[in-house]
Amino acid sequence: MTDTTTASFAQSITKYRQDYRPPTHLVDALELDFDLGDERTTVRARMAIRSNRSAENQTGELVLDGVGLDLVKIALDGVDLRRERYRISNEALTITGLPDQCVLETEVLIEPQANTCFEGLYRSGPMFLTQCEAEGFRRITYFLDRPDVMTCYTTTVRADRDRYPVLLSNGNLVQAGEDGNGRHWARWEDPFRKPSYLFALVAGDLHCEPDSFVTMSGRKVELRVYVEHHHADKCAHAMTSLIKAMRWDEETFGREYDLDLYMIVATDDFNMGAMENKGLNIFNSKFVLARPDTATDADYERIEGVIGHEYFHNWTGNRVTCRDWFQLTLKEGLTVFRDQQFTAEMTSAAVKRIDDVQVLRTRQFPEDAGPMAHPIRPEAYQEMNNFYTATVYEKGAEIIRMYRTLLGSVGFRRGMDLYFERHDGQAVTCDDFRTAMADANGRDLSRFERWYQQSGTPVLQVSDEYDAEMKRRTFTFTQVRSPTSQSDQVLPLYIPVAFGLIGPDGADLTLRLVAEDRAGATTRILELTETSQAFVFEDVLPGCVPSYLRGFSAPVELRCERSHADHAFAMTHESDAFNRWEAGQRFATEVLG
Ligand code: SER
Ligand code: ZN
């Protein structure tokens, strides 16, 4: 979920996907200590660093990201670092002559109360909270703020006890105590390695709605929804949704929650819709708070979907994360697909599919046809925040859906299992995902990569001919270049067309392709990989009405000749709910237009 509104134009350097280099250094552990104050906040960081032997770009220098930080202290292996050993710019701290392995300590001052960009640590009303995706952590402390640097975090939060009785961070609470002068502290430990964008901290005076969940292996997980006190009567639906999502991910994908605690915090000032920080999700209130007398059915459904989305990220995003931000769709397209499936199963699959396609057509298709068009995996960016788009999310989810259409639900699950087995704890690429899908199913999906490379909504033209004597009907599908395509080169895509033929009696025909000895299915997945491909069906009665792209099996624009009578017939007899709806829409649009 996202709002795409944040834009900071501080840096206008273009970054290219092809320029990816592994990090020069890795971080084995990170200890953070926050002293939260009204005027200023001190952040101490202690990191165990070692040089990354597999990186080719060894320069002997360590460049840590950092924006708007006031460095107070820096020490290497317990000794204050001499001034000539480091340089500070607006965006980085560069340290020279680092040993292969060392402990670096820094202390910086920040001003969360003056932070108006909603990235990093900021004040929201009476609360302190964070938003680190995509590159907000660098506004908290000096760090290798890139998703392929994963480490274990221990976080201590100190603040005034009366005003901030609740002190939260990722993981499990390991210790808490008093600092004197009315201040207290809490220490959190997250045993799972994570990238910095998943770091979170919350401090405030919040109501806690508790519950629990027993996982499929019998572990008890504490669940908590935190809201401002006057919202205490609006948390029940969020909690029910979370429990449903946890059960669904176990049943559908065999994915179990890993920590002992799962927390959701709702706030009115949050510019992403919601954020999947490990064990500590932060949400805009509108995706949490609901009460029957003030919320609509659509609100209830949306809350369930967004709670599910953030929960599902725990495996698709957190346990397996992105190597770099060009791969954003790896976690977002996949997680949107997962939340769509979840909602489909909790409500009506047909209505959900229609809703999702309407969102795609009204938001993503225009984006793909205009100056903002970009492939789901962009090649270059200046400001990552501008790439939280309908293309990366919604079209990305359609691409994942096509894997499932091509591989079947059993094959798709096999691919997901292999993806988790291979990459748990790693920061990976969209290619790694595709390779897992291909390997688990013994399939060649190399051509499928084009969906990640080309922008624009593909146009698919279909024509057909009937040979009455032979009772054969030939359907020719042609991929034509979209007039609005931004890509220089448009190559044929791998398109699954879910296809059926409705007989004159209104029943689906069992389909048989020429020279094929089996018949049986009434919906077939026709796999298009070339610019133009013909499919010849046998034993076809005269007067059949074809049904293309059942369930909207590919994010394309379909062009075919259809009479009003065909539309009316499909409205009555289509066995596919999406196409039945689509026929009605087309018919009405043509008649009214
Ligand atoms: N990563 C967040 C989400 O998709 C914000 O975009 O939920
Ligand atoms: Zn997401």
Nearest CA to ligand 1 atom 6: 2
Taking the CA of residue 335 as reference, the ligand 1 atom at the shortest distance is 4
pLDDT of residue 124: 87
Q: Which residues line ligand 1 (CB under 6 A)?
A: 1-2, 133, 272, 274-276, 309-310, 332, 388
Q: Distance (Å, rounded) from C-alpha 26 to C-alpha 62?
A: 10
Told to judge if 310 belongs to the known catalytic residues of this protein, a careful annotator would answer yes
- Asked if 140 and 109 touch (Cβ cutoff 8 Å), the reply is no
**Which among 136, 157, 15 is positioned nearest to 68, based on CA atoms?**
136
pLDDT score of 486:
62
Ligand 1 centre distance from Cα of residue 354 (Å) = 23
| Residue 408 Rama label (left phi>0; alpha psi -120 to 50; beta) | left
Q: How far apart are CA 426 and CA 413, in angstroms?
A: 20
d(CA 523, CA 114): 59
Given 107, 133, 276, 310, the catalytic residue: 310
Q: How far apart are CA 277 and CA 196, in angstroms?
A: 10
Q: Using omega within 30 degrees of 0 as the cis cutoff, is the peptide bond preceding 344 cis?
A: no
Give the ligand whose atoms come closest to the C-alpha of residue 384.
Answer: 1
Q: Tokens 């709670």 correspond to what residue?
A: 307
Distance 360 CA to ligand 2 centre (A): 16
Per-residue pLDDT of the chain (593 residues; tens, 9 = 90+): 444 444 444 557 999 999 999 999 999 999 999 999 999 999 999 999 999 987 765 677 999 999 999 999 999 999 999 999 999 999 999 999 999 999 999 999 999 999 999 899 999 888 999 999 999 999 999 999 999 999 999 999 999 999 999 999 999 999 999 999 999 999 999 999 999 999 999 999 999 999 999 999 999 999 999 999 999 999 999 999 999 999 999 999 999 999 999 999 999 878 788 999 999 999 999 999 999 999 999 999 999 999 999 999 999 999 999 999 999 999 999 999 999 999 999 999 999 999 999 999 999 999 999 999 999 999 999 999 999 999 999 999 999 999 999 999 999 999 999 999 999 999 999 999 999 999 999 999 999 999 999 999 999 999 999 999 999 999 999 999 766 666 666 899 999 999 999 999 999 999 999 988 777 799 999 999 999 999 999 999 999 999 999 999 999 999 999 999 999 999 999 999 999 999 999 999 999 98
Q: Ligand 1: which atom is nearest the Cα of residue 336? A: 4
Q: What distances in angstroms separate CA 309 from CA 277, 334, 342, 511, one per listed residue?
A: 12, 10, 9, 38
Per DSSP, 327 falls in state G
Q: Which of 281, 306, 313, 321 to mutate to test the pocket of ligand 1 (most atoms within 8 A of CB)?
A: 313
Nearest protein CA to atom 2 of ligand 1, as residue: 275
Residue type, 471: K
Ligand 2 mean position to 389 CA, how many Å?
A: 11
Ligand 1 pocket test target in 1, 118, 282, 384 with most atoms within 8 Å of CB: 1
The predicted structure's pLDDT at residue 57: 59
The tens digit of pLDDT for each residue in 63-90 reads 999 999 999 999 999 999 999 999 999 9
Q: Whose C-alpha lies nearest to ligand 1, atom 7? A: 1
pLDDT of residue 8: 47
Residue 572: the pLDDT is 97
Q: Which atom of ligand 1 is nearest to the CA of 2?
A: 6
User: 430 C-alpha vs ligand 2 centroid, how far in Å?
Assistant: 15
Q: In what order do the strands lie in the sheet with 151-160?
A: 79-80, 70-76, 101-110, 41-51, 25-35, 151-160, 183-194, 172-180
Q: What is the pLDDT of residue 242?
A: 98
Among the bound ligands, the one closest to the CA of 312:
2
Q: From ligand 1's centre to the CA of 235, what distance in Å? A: 21
Mutation test of ligand 1: which of 275, 321, 325 has the most ligand atoms closer than 8 Å to its C-beta? 275
Per-residue model confidence (pLDDT) at position 487 = 62
The set of long-range contacts for 340-343, using a CB threshold of 8 Å and a minimum separation of 24, is: 340/305, 340/397, 340/401, 341/252, 342/244, 342/245, 342/248, 342/252, 342/304, 342/305, 342/308, 342/312, 343/301, 343/304, 343/305, 343/308
Distance CA 465, CA 471 (A): 11
d(CA 467, CA 538): 10
Helix (H) / strand (E) element for 249: namely: helix 236-253
Residue 316: per-residue pLDDT: 98
Could you tell me if 168 and 280 are in contact, meaning their C-beta atoms sit under 8 angstroms apart?
yes
What pLDDT does residue 80 have?
A: 98
Helix (H) or strand (E) holding 285: none
Please give the distance, rounded to the nearest whole angstrom, from the Cα atom of residue 379 to the centre of ligand 2.
Answer: 20
Other CB atoms within 10 A of residue 303 CB:
22
**Ligand 1 atom nearest to CA at 332:** 4
For ligand 1, atom 1, name the residue with the nearest CA: 275
Ligand 2 centre and the CA of 331: distance in Å? Answer: 7
Distant-in-sequence, close-in-space partners of 124: CB < 8 Å, separation ≥ 6: 267, 268, 269, 270
